[in-house]
Structure 1
Amino acid sequence: MNQHSTNGRGVHRRSVLRAVALGAPLAAAGAFGVHAASADTPNFKIMVTEQVTNKVFVFDKSKSFSNANAYKTWSPGVGGWYNLSDCRIRDTAQFGAIGLAAGSGGKVGIWNITTEKDQELNDVLWSASPGGNPHALERIPNVGAFVSASSSGFLTVYAPTKVSDPSTLKAVQTVNLAGARGVLWDPNGKLLWVAAQKLVRAYSVTGTYRNTRIKATSKSVALSGNGHDIQPDYSNSGRLLVSDTYGVYSIDKSTLARTTLHTVRRIKSYVKMSSGEHFYVKGDDIGTRTWGSPTVAFSQSADRTRSGAEFYKARYYTTAYN
């Protein structure tokens, strides 16, 4: 892996995105979650997938991204977890906060977020091997099902026989969808949204336990390129934020209107806070992982660069949707 200085690139990328007006921020929404910031504050925490060490790190965004400043880490090893491609946390009645992860080596799974600072593979509650370059994993609450998105062209639904016991999860459905990379459960609209090849599509969820199934709805939005990431807009629960090869877009969940926010290529993950601040990771076309970057860029704060790192996804460290 080539190591390289990124301070110049980080500043350039940030200034490019800052040059595109986002509009006035809306009223702040609360964001409560176990092991997460109790509110959307200026010093919120973010979690990142770092592919060189193949770890998930949680950092305070106001501090340097050093080992000493890591709030939490999770290291699953390599094998099927190779090149961690996504991470997020969700709240459960049984375990409190759990971490969700996908690895391009072929694995998806969840781990129990305990009081330990550094967690490993032995904290995994469940894992599976959908294959096809898994890029994301999402949880559907109440039914306890999980859905993974694999970029080679399909979604995999995992459903339990006991909602509180992840070890009972089993693959029950595979749905073809070209270029499936991002997946997000919307608890307000009760829909599963997926970013894929040149479109965003919403799926309804029916059934319980092993009868849980997803079905494509009429809700879909065309994209110019391959979808990469899909996230809630923490400033407006009526919108989704999506990145594709050519930019970042806001999608109105009711009207399906798509608004271009940025025309910067290769944004791999993008989050907008209720304050209006946004942060992102952009593929830098350098080194052996051209899709990653050692920098997480912020629109209203200092960029954070970790020497020798290759970040792929960056998330707001909260279990809340908005």
Structure 2
Amino acid sequence: MALIDRTTKECHFLAEAKNAHSACLLPDRQIAVASSFGGDQVQFYDRDEKQKPASVVQAISLLGAHGTVWDPDRKCLWALGEKELLALVADAEATPQKPWKVRSRTPLPSNGGHDLSPKHDGKQLFVTTDTQVLMFDCDKLTFDVAEGFGDQLKIKSVDRNSASGRIVFHQATAENWWSDTIRFTDAVPLKLADERLYKIRWDTATPAP
């Protein structure tokens, strides 16, 4: 996992996390990484560590960790695994070696938690599993099937543009974990021949935690 300056191409941070699937910037110059199968952890790092690769400060077990999203309103890190969604928060009795703890564990309605992204309404998160696209209510800790998707197989990512509200998503083929097609809820698909796409995101500015 690397943090790269897109202008200078300089690598500001580097870590090794087995089967890393997502990373998230956190307050106090921290970084969280979802280390999926074989790692099965949410790993925390000091963003300012000069050593490359950086060493893990703390790890919290999470089977099949796939998604990490910082929630500034609730001051928690949402972390998606194979079967559950965790809310992780700073520990009031934290030590430098264990700054985070689990506040809640919410079982998923279906197995195979894969993608986690904000709806940008301050209330909900998109969650994808092997067989569903879901909306998660961050206050009620409940799931509903996402409008416009229904129960669809192998959707690897969903992302809503914070400015326009447009939704882009990626659905793998029946045979593979990838496809060559970018899909939208309001436009015709965009096919990129010979590409193996996996996760798709809008390129929009995000305020630093």
TM-score tier (shorter): 0.7 to 0.9
Shift of 1:221: 4.0
Query: Is the contact made by 2:84 and 2:105 (CA closer than 8 Å) also made in structure 1?
Result: no
Query: Is the contact made by 1:135 and 1:149 (CA closer than 8 Å) also made in structure 2?
Result: yes
Change (3 A) 1:174 1:296: same
Bigger CA radius of gyration: 1
2:152 corresponds to 1:272: no
Given the two structures, how large is their TM-score scaled by the length of structure 2?
0.86
Counterpart in the other structure of 1:296: 182
- The C-alpha deviation readout for 1:169-221, integer Å capped at 9, x for no partner, is 53111211111111111111111001111211111124899456221112524
Matches of 2:24 and 2:107, distance apart in 1: 20
Change (3 A) 1:187 1:209: farther
Give the unaligned 5+ runs of structure 1: 1-107
What RMSD in Å do the two structures reach over aligned CA positions?
Answer: 2.2
Matches of 2:2 and 2:91, distance apart in 1: 22
2:66 corresponds to 1:181: yes
Q: With CA pairs under 8 Å and 6+ residues apart, which has the higher RCO, 1 or 2? A: 1
Counterpart in the other structure of 1:225: 111
Q: What number of residue pairs does the alignment pair up? A: 198
- The C-alpha deviation readout for 1:3-50, integer Å capped at 9, x for no partner, is xxxxxxxxxxxxxxxxxxxxxxxxxxxxxxxxxxxxxxxxxxxxxxxx
2:200 corresponds to 1:314: yes
Shift of 1:319: 3.1
Letter of the aligned partner of 1:283 in structure 2? A
Change (3 A) 1:174 1:219: closer
Query: Is the contact made by 1:110 and 1:126 (CA closer than 8 Å) also made in structure 2?
Result: yes
Shift of 1:139: 1.0
Matches of 2:135 and 2:35, distance apart in 1: 23
- The C-alpha deviation readout for 1:233-277, integer Å capped at 9, x for no partner, is 02x211111001111111111111211012101111001345553
Matches of 1:222 and 1:297, distance apart in 2: 25
Letter of the aligned partner of 1:265 in structure 2? L
Matches of 1:278 and 1:263, distance apart in 2: 17
Structure number having the greater helix percentage: 1
Counterpart in the other structure of 1:112: 5
Give 2:46's match in structure 1, choosing from 146, 149, 159: 159
Shift of 1:285: 3.3
- Percent identical across equivalent pairs? 25
Change (3 A) 1:315 1:166: farther
Matches of 2:199 and 2:127, distance apart in 1: 13
Given the two structures, how large is their TM-score scaled by the length of structure 1?
0.57
Counterpart in the other structure of 2:87: 202
